[in-house]
Amino acid sequence: MIKNIFFILLTTTPLLTSSIAIVKAQQVVTELLPELSTSEPVLMPPKFKSINWEASLYPLVNNMMLANDIHEDSVLLVNTMTNSTNGNLQSRQATATLSSLIPNDSHFRVVRADVLNSARMKLGLSEDDRLESRSKAIGLARYLNAQYVLYSIASGDIKQPDLDMQLMLVQTGEIVWSGKGVAQE
């Protein structure tokens, strides 16, 4: 019987010792780094889909520039691309690329991003307004004395979003050109 007790003590002592060491290590970590000891899950930053915006938007812009109903030397507001996909999309990057693809030639003079952001602030509109509508875009364009608004939407599956663009006449809200495409990697 003594042999059995001695055997049990010999086999369980290392388990007890290692369990005690783990508990003590957890206590030390909790004392030294209390912010790590919470039981809340760690949130991962969203993963953005890598899209080649220039290759995706260039054919649409090129097609738009061939539209007949554009008045020469007009001011164009490029509205922030609306994300209606099932994921996170880099709308600012898409909008900046779209603006850079439109030549400042005899057709359009594009409203600069800093002027647009300043007008948004003055009107109480957020840069990241997720509820932005065509009517808000037209109102912003009127405030900036633009004759046209380019409204764009990315929709569908984030893996390969559909792109819809509409060039609207600010004065009437009439869509003078529209185009569709698919985003490319």
Residue ranges per domain, the chain? 2-36, 53-182
Smallest CA-to-CA distance from 53 within 85, 95, 11 is with 95
Residue 6: per-residue pLDDT = 45
**Mean pLDDT of the chain, nearest integer:** 81
Q: Report residues of the chain scoring pLDDT below 70.
A: 1-49, 128-132
Instruction: Give the amino acid at 90.
Output: Q
Residue 145: per-residue pLDDT = 95
Residue 19: per-residue pLDDT = 55
What stretches of 70-177 show up as alpha helix (H) in DSSP? 91-101, 113-123, 134-143
Residue 29: per-residue pLDDT = 53
CATH number at 53-182: 3.40.50.10610
pTM passes above 0.75: no
**Are residues 51 and 87 in contact, defined by beta-carbon separation less than 8 angstroms?**
no
Q: What is the pLDDT of residues 21-44, one digit of tens each?
A: 555 656 655 666 555 555 666 666
**Which tokens belong to 160?**
């390969």
